[in-house]
């Protein structure tokens, strides 16, 4: 069967992008670029784009509110509209057209299953998201602050900090809970993430067979299915089947992102640390590094030397993104 894809390079959804105003924010990216999913230059002429192994500025805008990476394309939500780059398969076209507020309320696992929180207004009218047996409508427990997917399942975060997981019972370590108390495929609370010393969970992340959660007090918890080969490079995390605290050189953690086999963390002091596979340059440590078995600090000269700061991190399956802004004048 022929697979039809939409080819996009640096497309701007805004009809009135102002190229003259100052660009206060930048997006840096590294890693897999086989479909041009890191190429926002708009020329569209390179049919075989190279991966990148160092964080490089790929986009500038007055405001960058979020990055949503998929396997073969990337969406960046900016004040100029949603920027799209890469190859968009036909079955993903409806997703690429959604507004930025919708993406925390849907997630697609690597096994193809799409979960949609259809209580969210932006998703209620998207009928073609529901046209496949692989689509699950997630209605309980509302409201949902965030939905994320790993290879064979999902996690959801409520505004109060409760975390639910569900998925394939063969990889029960990813669920982070006792399967004798609730079925794997039924969304159930991860009780080990309740009543934590530094407050409730405020963000979750997932990828491959690894899940992570951040508390209000900037502590990091990680769990997953340690037996999978895709997490072999994450040995420094000592993955277990229940959430465990992870310390990165005594830093408080401001943001976390998880790829297929790598993790990227941002500290409250603006430092970036990575761990895991660098097979496509996704750690930003250079092409000569194959992996990082312990947390490794990443230096981005263009950020460190130009009065800029990293404010958010995002991971695709095999790439990484830094959202950077100019530091305010003192």
* Domain containing residue 119: CATH number: 2.130.10.30
Residue at 281 is within a domain:
no
State the pLDDT at residue 189. Answer: 94
Residue at 121 is within a domain:
yes
Residue at 251 is within a domain:
yes
Residue at 282 is within a domain:
no
Residues 175, 72 within the same domain? no
State the pLDDT at residue 18. Answer: 41
Q: What is the mean pLDDT of the chain?
A: 84
State the pLDDT at residue 101. Answer: 81
Residues 7, 85 within the same domain? yes
Residue at 189 is within a domain:
yes
For the ranges 24-28, 90-94, 177-181, 293-297, the lowest mean pLDDT is seen at 90-94
Residues 140, 198 within the same domain? yes
Q: Is the pLDDT of residue 1 over 50?
A: no
| Structural domain boundaries, residue 223 | 102-267
Residues 310, 262 within the same domain? no
Query: Distance of alpha carbon 250 from its chain centroid, rounded?
Result: 24
Residues 175, 229 within the same domain? yes
> Quick check: helix, strand or coil at residue 155?
strand
Residues 120, 233 within the same domain? yes
Q: Is the pLDDT of residue 4 over 50?
A: no
Torsion of the alpha carbons at 173, 203, 272 and 9, rounded to the nearest 10: 100
Query: pLDDT of 254-313, one tens digit each?
Result: 999 999 999 999 999 999 999 999 999 999 999 999 999 889 999 888 888 778 999 999
Residues 4, 91 within the same domain? yes
Which residue pairs from 267-274 have beta carbons closer than 8 angstroms and sit at least 24 positions apart in sequence? 268/218, 270/309, 270/310, 271/297, 272/297, 272/298, 272/300, 272/310, 272/313, 272/322, 273/248, 273/249, 273/297, 273/298, 274/298, 274/320
Residues 81, 190 within the same domain? no
Residue percentage of the chain with pLDDT more than 70: 82
**Mean pLDDT, range 96-105, rounded to an integer:** 82
Residue at 273 is within a domain:
no
The residue from 267, 290, 308 where one domain ends is 267
When divided into structural domains, the chain yields a total of: 2
């Amino acid at each position: 069967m022929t697979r039809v894809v939409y080819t996009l390079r640096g497309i701007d959804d805004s009809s009135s992008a102002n190229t003259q105003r100052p660009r206060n924010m930048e997006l840096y990216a590294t890693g897999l670029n086989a479909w041009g999913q890191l190429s926002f230059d708009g020329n569209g002429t390179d049919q075989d784009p190279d991966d990148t192994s160092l964080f490089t500025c790929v986009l500038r805008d007055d405001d960058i509110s979020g990055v949503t990476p998929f396997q073969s394309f990337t969406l960046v939500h900016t004040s100029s509209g949603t920027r799209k780059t890469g190859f968009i398969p036909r079955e993903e076209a409806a997703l690429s057209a959604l507004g930025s507020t919708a993406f925390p309320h849907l997630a697609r696992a690597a096994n193809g299953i799409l979960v949609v929180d259809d209580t969210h207004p932006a998703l209620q009218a998207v009928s073609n998201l529901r046209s496949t047996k692989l689509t699950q409508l997630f209605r309980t427990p509302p409201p949902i602050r965030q939905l994320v997917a790993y290879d064979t399942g999902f996690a959801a975060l409520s505004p109060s900090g409760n975390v639910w997981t569900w998925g394939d019972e063969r990889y029960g370590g990813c669920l982070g809970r006792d399967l004798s108390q609730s079925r794997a495929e039924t969304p159930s609370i991860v009780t080990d993430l309740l009543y934590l010393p530094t407050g409730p969970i405020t963000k979750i992340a997932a990828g491959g067979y690894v899940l992570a959660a951040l508390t209000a007090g900037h502590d990091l918890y990680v769990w997953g299915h340690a037996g999978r080969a895709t997490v072999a490079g994450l040995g420094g995390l000592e993955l277990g089947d229940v959430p465990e605290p992870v310390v990165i050189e005594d830093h408080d953690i401001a943001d976390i992102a998880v790829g297929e086999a790598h993790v990227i963390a941002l500290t409250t002091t603006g430092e970036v640390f990575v761990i895991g596979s660098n097979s496509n340059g996704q750690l930003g440590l250079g092409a000569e590094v194959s992996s990082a078995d312990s947390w490794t600090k990443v230096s981005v000269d263009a950020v460190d030397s130009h009065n800029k700061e990293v404010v958010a991190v995002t991971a695709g399956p095999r790439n990484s993104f830094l959202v950077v802004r100019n530091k305010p004048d003192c």
